[in-house]
Amino acid sequence: MEAFSNLADGFAVSLSWTNVLYCFVGVLLGTAIGVLPGLGPITTIALLLPLTITLDPTTALIMLAGIYYGAQYGGSTTSILINVPGESASVVTALDGHQMARQGRAGVALAVAAIGSFVAGTIATFFIAFFAPPLTELALKFGPPEYFSLMVLGLVSAISLASGSMLKAIAMLTLGLLLGLTGRDIYTGLPRFTFGSVSLLDGIDFVALAVGIFGLSEILRNLEGNTPRETLAQKINNLMPTRKDFRQIAGPILRGTGIGSLLGILPGGGAVLSSFVSYTLEKRISKQPERFARGAIEGVAGPESANNAGAQTSFIPMLTLGIPSNPVMALMIGAFIMQGIMPGPNVISSKPDLFWGLITSMWIGNVLLLVLNLPLVGIWVRLLSIPYNVIVPIVLVFSAVGVYCTAQDSFQVALLALFAFLGYLFLRSDCEPAPLILGFILGPLLEEHFRRSMIVSRGDPMVFLNHPLSASTLLIALVVLIVAAMPKARIKRDQVFAE
Amino acid sequence: MPISKNLVSGSIFLAAAMIFGIASASYGFGTPARIGPGLFPLILSAILGVFGLIILISGLQKDAPLIGRLPWRSIALIVASPLVLVGCVEYIGLIPSTALLAFVGSFASNSMTFRRAAGSAIVLALVVWLIFIVGLGISVPAFGLLF
């Protein structure tokens, strides 16, 4: 089997001392930062991204992927222990996880989350190994119109899945696309939206944008009210699930993995959607649905497996097509570009070491999470009690210095300040930032493929409809948009998010 | 006058649409077969403008949810602290600027004492020096011209 030999080659790369070490450092740092209240995976990755710039590309991406899983696991930890989901994917975990913690089963909830994530991660790694190569083959046949339409579909799905007003999501997305166009035009070299600044010729530094919009604005939100956080002072001693627990979680873990693996590939999908769907499914098929939201162990096992599987398979469209399906993947694409690699179907053949090394490192990352997090749970709990006024200067310093060191330009640090302010105003006026960052990464790609298609077709805009694949993709996008805009679907979606 | 959420976000979107739109108009639209640098951003600006306007108008309704009181002191300090780095880094280098930035930023939280802010400034400057200068070997002047 080719998949197995590819995986074996990958392990040869990811099991090298350096890569295991950086994977470990990534997982550790990711968990540590992800556990801090108010810092979700996106902020964590953006904050720690500057630490990877001097590394070799493979090692850097392995470390970033590690940071991602770590941050996700950190988010689950805060959901379970203090009912503060660090990010939307662990909102569902908080429902039953925190109830379990209140019943004195915090350790078991954490262990189940780790075990579920591990099983899901293992299966998802194989899933990627089998599905990425055929998808790459297909992607190599895509021309500019197909790419354009696929990106439109991705963006439309992202808007439909954003919580809150769809009008605002579209506006945020468009603003992101425009911000992404800043810099020299690829065809004519004309500087656009630089307003005379030399620093902007290469565009807006995306670490500045991401950290400002996601990180610093979140800090401001947390500073609003000095609401005392509910810290669970109890000691966590009993980690081991019982036999009965194991029997109860086996089904949810496998179902969650399946849901996550499939939904992760879809544009706009990924961890968040997967965990919601898994929770709803478990509740629906349960013989005692009334136990849910009262500390049902299935309500932790299912969604946690689903979000980890989804997190992992969302790498597939990013690695094979170069199209991010969610903001985290947008950041990963940003990291690839910073390393001088353009993600897309060519990566697998031109850089097989990087491709398979990264994929196999995901499994190693999951092993490390399992062996690292359960024994270290005590430390993570202690991190939770760090007062917020200590966290504020740390985050500020790492964001500003990080931007300064990646961009080597103080103007971008000034932009960071601007984005922090704008980001906070957006938060206060219920505009979700995720579509903005997706738009920012996709802006230049979308324009490039649009203009290339028009060149290929000699100016005939029907090119997007004459190619069957492009036409059907656009049709799906249209259907998604209409369905999402229908009042009935809006209500249903709001219910899912409100639950 | 009470200000609504949609008035704020709508105005930002509309302002951005105008800035980007006016700039795009001067970049040239090209021909259908060779689209110029201005067309795509102009289309986007138009979309942003339309949506911004709708959001803004909805924010003028009587029952539009209000944005509420903003924590101006924290906002000012969070925005100011990166600017401290911007202003100082060329003269005194990264490490002293980091200390200043951390010191200023610390006061964004309401309960902060002079001693704690100074403490975190020193510790964080040291951490940045260890990670970015010693560890990662990033070539920026650590201690600028004055030292």
A469-494 core/surface letters (b: 16 or more CB in 10 A; e: else)? ebbebbebbeebbeebeeeeeeeebe
Q: Is residue B16 part of a domain?
A: yes
Q: Is residue B118 part of a domain?
A: yes
Q: Are residues B84 and B130 in the same domain?
A: yes
Instruction: Measure in Å the smallest separation between the Cα of A204 and chain B Cα atoms.
Output: 14
pLDDT tens digits in sequence order for chain B, 147 residues long = 688 999 999 999 999 999 999 999 888 888 888 888 989 999 999 999 999 999 999 999 888 888 888 889 999 999 999 999 999 888 888 899 999 999 999 998 877 888 889 999 999 999 999 988 888 888 788 787 655
Closest partner residue to A193 (CB to CB) among B20, B121, B138 is: B20
Contacts of B69 in chain A (CB under 8 A): none
Locus of tokens 């909830």: A109
A166 inside 8 A of chain B by CB: no
Closest alpha carbon to A353 in A108, A57, A96, A23: A57
Q: Are strands B34-35 and B30-31 parallel, antiparallel or unpaired?
A: antiparallel
Tokens for A317, please give them: 């469209």
A192 inside 8 A of chain B by CB: yes
Instruction: Measure in Å the smallest separation between the Cα of A459 and chain B Cα atoms.
Output: 4
Residue A499: its pLDDT value, please?
46
A84 inside 8 A of chain B by CB: no
Q: Are residues B91 and B114 in the same domain?
A: yes
Q: Are strands A191-192 and A183-184 parallel, antiparallel or unpaired?
A: antiparallel
Q: Is residue B140 part of a domain?
A: no
Q: Which helix (H) or strand (E) segment is A400 a member of?
A: helix A388-407
SS3 content of chain B, % helix, strand, coil (to 5): 65, 5, 30
Quote the domain boundaries for residue B121.
Answer: 72-135
Q: Are residues B118 and B80 in the same domain?
A: yes
CB within 8 Å: B82 and A185: no
A244 neighbors A264 (Cβ within 8 angstroms): no
Q: Is residue B142 part of a domain?
A: no
Please report, in angstroms and rounded to a whole number, the separation of the first and last CA atoms in chain B: 51
A310 neighbors A268 (Cβ within 8 angstroms): no
Residue A290: its pLDDT value, please?
81
CB within 8 Å: B86 and A410: yes
Average confidence (pLDDT) per 10 residues, chain A, 499 residues: 81 89 91 80 87 89 90 83 71 83 84 89 89 86 90 86 82 95 88 86 89 87 66 63 83 90 77 82 84 83 89 88 85 88 87 90 89 79 80 91 88 94 93 89 90 89 89 90 73 54
B32 inside 8 A of chain A by CB: yes
Please tell me the pTM assigned to this model.
0.89
Q: Are residues B49 and B77 in the same domain?
A: no
The chain A residue lying nearest B19, using CA atoms, is A193
The residues, ordered by sequence, that sit 6+ positions from B87 with a Cβ below 8 Å of its Cβ are: none
Tokens for A221, please give them: 């939100």
A161 neighbors A438 (Cβ within 8 angstroms): no
* Side chain identity at residue A379, one-letter code: I
Domain coordinates in residue numbering, chain A = 2-143+206-427
A75 neighbors A89 (Cβ within 8 angstroms): yes
Distances (CA, A) of A163 to A155, A157, A166, A168, A485: 14, 12, 8, 10, 13
Reduce the DSSP state of residue A241 to 3 states and report it.
coil
- Pairs of CB atoms within 8 A across A/B: 197
Closest partner residue to B109 (CB to CB) among A170, A185, A392 is: A392
Q: Is residue B66 part of a domain?
A: no
Query: Could you give the CA distance from residue A26 to residue A65 in angstroms, rounded to a whole number?
Result: 7
Query: Could you give the CA distance from residue B131 to residue B135 in angstroms, rounded to a whole number?
Result: 5
A64 inside 8 A of chain B by CB: no
Q: Total domain count for chain B?
A: 2
**Between the CA atoms of B37, B40, B43 and B47, what dihedral angle is there, to the nearest 10 degrees?**
-130
The chain A residue lying nearest B64, using CA atoms, is A429
A209 inside 8 A of chain B by CB: no
